[in-house]
Structure 1
Amino acid sequence: MSPLLYIPAFAIRLALFHIPAIAETLASRVEIVTPITSYKRLTEGLYLFESHVPPYDGGVFHQSPIFLALFQLLNFLPSITVPILYALTDITIAYLLTEITTKKQAIYGVKPKLEVEKGAKGIEPWVVGALYLFNPLSILSCVSKSTLIFTNASIVLAVYYALQGEKSLGMFWVAMASYLSFYPAMLVAPIILIILNWGANGSTILKKDIVLHCVLLYATWLAALLFLSYQLVGSWDFMGATYGVIIFLSDLTPNVGLFWYFFIEMFDQFRPFFLVVFQLHAFIFAAPLSIKLSEHPIFVTFMLCGIMGIFKSYPSIGDAALYLAFLPIHDELLKYMRYGFLTANLFLYASTLGPIFWHLWIYAGSGNANFFYAITLVYNIGQILLLVDVMYAMLRRSFDVEHPESLGKEVVQK
């Protein structure tokens, strides 16, 4: 991608970082940061850690111990270092997306195509990177200093190294993403599929041996990260304060997800049952998608990132920024999508009214929690509609490629 795109994207982020009113406001917006990605909570945990007080005792800090070590180191550097780190991480994600697009187009170039696609050039890789860099969701998530950006970078790195056939690095980065945010554990299957389908580089090793090797690598890396965390903080308390909060939803701070309002209203005797149902629902799609679309593992990664962005316990707009970045990589599906206009309007509608309803509830006192939760439901309906539409596009295109005679005709199941 041309440096001419990196430079303005980097400059925009640094400029916004240096406008305190914007940076501080974004850092406290519930649509952008959550209790497990908040930079403000990270600084509180870091203060306790440096004061030799267990950082997880206060019930405020819910992030991985590795962030304590990273940002403690950054404290010894000039204050500009943190904004530069966030901006460079976003630039790195964009660069990796262009590389993933290039590799995907080379792989799909030899696959069967529709007649109208033959000779047609796919989307330019730099466009995919530009769509991420100048997506308002990406910019807002970066400037808010949400630590979700490091999870997103880990996921993209996992896909990139899997495409290169680097099993150890691919599984390390998906283990890192799982360690940071728990839910990316569902991406193990599509990352292994990428290695099996495209990253084996003509290897004669049996597929089951590659799968076993990858699973062992993932378990080893994850165990190493957890043990390193234990060494950093001197106890296993971080397990309950990070993953326990994610699983059991002990912090009911409002966000753009489906959990918080539902469990505020939930009777205590029903809470364990519905926690199991909600958490299982987030993971239950991983196996069927990986089986049905085993020949399209990057698309499976996109779908599962979208599902995480909807059904995880503490989602934010940064989750949407990630899976929306994967969407243009599959530009061949866009012509099959039917609800693009409706989906775009739902996103715009929610983006406009979300902050207004939050203000009415929290500051003006003329609304209540129903106002904000209703608009988050609209936002999630838009996300669900987008995923359903893209899934239809993938299945219909695959069917048309296999049955060219049915092109343009309605398919009726008998």
Structure 2
Amino acid sequence: MAAPLTLLLIVAVTIRAALYRSSLVDIISERVEVVSPLTAWKRVVEGLALLDLGVSPYAGDVFHETPLIIYLFHFVIDYAEITFMLADVITAVALYMSAQEYNKQVFRKQRFALEADRYPMDCIELIRSPKEMYYIPLKVAMFYLLNPFTILSCVAKATCGLNNAVISLFILATIKGNVLLSAIFLSLATYQSIYPLTLCASALLYLMQRQYIPVNPRRASFWWFVAQYAFMYLGSLFVIVGLSFFLLGSWDFLPSVYGFMEHPVFLIFMQLAVISIFKSYPTVGDIALYMAFLPLWNHLHRFLRNIFLVSCVLLSCSALFPVLWHLWIYAGSANSNFYYAITLLFNVAQILLVSDYFYAFLRREHHLTYGLYLKRKDGSEATLVLK
């Protein structure tokens, strides 16, 4: 699979290089769905200029990135485009290798379970095929590299691409069982953005078996809520951020409740999705990371209920974001509620997507334990009747 992966990397880099030379760069780099005050390249450049003048970048309200980012680009500012393309390549390769290693472990456990006759006879059709080991990792890398959200983030030089690279390396180190590298990359990811700290529970399971910034409109419910209740800003901040961390933290207890002790990789996928939804300042680059895992769960497709509806809503909202922004900011024929409504719908669609995969995963596990078809106590086939 090295040749297809190499070809995929060449195509992805070519697309990004061509867009860097186009006139779309300035438009993409200003989109609020693609960049935020934390990840905007313009903010990094301004921070570097202040640093060169001997002024602290954090003295004003311009720069909100970590010191690591500003010192990194202090040396590679002339190669920024190559740096962001390299970050995407590293992320894709890390996800590819993670999917390969995960599939090997899954098929090994599945073979042992089949030899021990742990699966009911009527659920053989739910068993994963060994052929998936060869093409699923490539699809995972493709879902990340050729995802329009990833391409837009890379072209805009949003620093969330660097965060994704660190998180993907953390996932790879965790699946490989390297405790030291896993801890290093998790610490680095948490240093860049405190939200990945919630992935620690998944890492421990596998190995054992925001700061204050100005409120700007963007693709999140946080800005609208705080703007509406500006008279109680501090309270709103605690409610929104506290709610997100409560929801993320509650996932740490789900393995013991829903049987995720044996499936921490799926838990990592769920946590990445929840982080993307409830982040105070999310961008499309955050979505691209967890969506890259979708091919890994293609065996759940038969149990998904709302995938067509969710796909249509996500595509429609993605197209309406710039339209409603233009109507609000430039045309003056709409207000902030229009943009907030499409933001809320986009987040609801993501929640439905995550819930659907969560349901499909639990249902498949139930069938693998109790069989695909209902049976009476005497062993005859039963019929479910709703009253």
Which residue is equivalent to 1:104?
102
Which residue is equivalent to 2:187?
175
Q: How big is the shift at 1:251?
A: 1.2
Which residue is equivalent to 2:378?
none
* 1:166 aligned onto 2:166: no
Which residue is equivalent to 2:379?
none
Q: Which one of 351, 354, 360 corresponds to residue 393 of structure 1?
A: 360
Which residue is equivalent to 1:352?
319
- Residues 11-410 of structure 1 aligned to structure 2 (within 5 Å): 11-19=14-22, 21-75=23-77, 79=78, 81-109=79-107, 110-111=109-110, 112=113, 114-118=123-127, 120=129, 121-122=131-132, 123-197=135-209, 243-245=210-212, 250-266=213-229, 268-269=231-232, 270-271=235-236, 274-275=239-240, 277-291=242-256, 292=258, 293-406=260-373
| Matches of 1:10 and 1:407, distance apart in 2 | 51
| Matches of 2:247 and 2:156, distance apart in 1 | 26
Amino acid of the structure 1 residue aligned with 2:165: A
Q: How big is the shift at 1:288?
A: 2.5
| Matches of 1:268 and 1:41, distance apart in 2 | 28
Q: How big is the shift at 1:279?
A: 3.7
Q: How big is the shift at 1:273?
A: 5.1
Amino acid of the structure 2 residue aligned with 1:187: L
Q: How big is the shift at 1:410?
A: 8.8
In terms of mean alpha carbon deviation, does 124-133 or 55-64 score higher?
124-133
Amino acid of the structure 2 residue aligned with 1:60: V
| Matches of 1:303 and 1:22, distance apart in 2 | 33
Q: Give the 3 Å change call, closer, same or farther, for CA 178–117 of structure 1 in structure 2.
A: same
Q: How big is the shift at 1:126?
A: 1.1
| Matches of 2:60 and 2:269, distance apart in 1 | 36
String of CA shifts for 1:156-182, please: whole Å, max 9, x gaps: 101101122211111111111111011
| Matches of 1:354 and 1:411, distance apart in 2 | 44
Alignment RMSD (CA, Å): 2.1
| Matches of 1:302 and 1:46, distance apart in 2 | 35
Q: Give the 3 Å change call, closer, same or farther, for CA 99–56 of structure 1 in structure 2.
A: same
| Matches of 2:128 and 2:176, distance apart in 1 | 26
Contact 2:97 2:172 in 1 (8 A): yes
Contact 2:9 2:89 in 1 (8 A): yes
Q: Give the 3 Å change call, closer, same or farther, for CA 170–272 of structure 1 in structure 2.
A: closer
Amino acid of the structure 1 residue aligned with 2:216: T
Amino acid of the structure 2 residue aligned with 1:98: Y
Unaligned runs of 5+ in 2: 114-118, 376-381
Amino acid of the structure 1 residue aligned with 2:15: I
| Matches of 1:344 and 1:93, distance apart in 2 | 24
Q: Which one of 9, 13, 16 corresponds to residue 12 of structure 2?
A: 9
Contact 1:30 1:254 in 2 (8 A): yes
String of CA shifts for 1:203-240, please: whole Å, max 9, x gaps: xxxxxxxxxxxxxxxxxxxxxxxxxxxxxxxxxxxxxx
User: Which 4+ stretches in 1 moved above 4 angstroms?
Assistant: 407-413
String of CA shifts for 1:249-269, please: whole Å, max 9, x gaps: x41111111100011011534
String of CA shifts for 1:317-336, please: whole Å, max 9, x gaps: 11110000112112221221
| Matches of 1:273 and 1:106, distance apart in 2 | 43
Q: How many residues align?
A: 359
Q: Percent identity?
A: 36
Q: How big is the shift at 1:154?
A: 1.0
Q: Give the 3 Å change call, closer, same or farther, for CA 141–406 of structure 1 in structure 2.
A: same
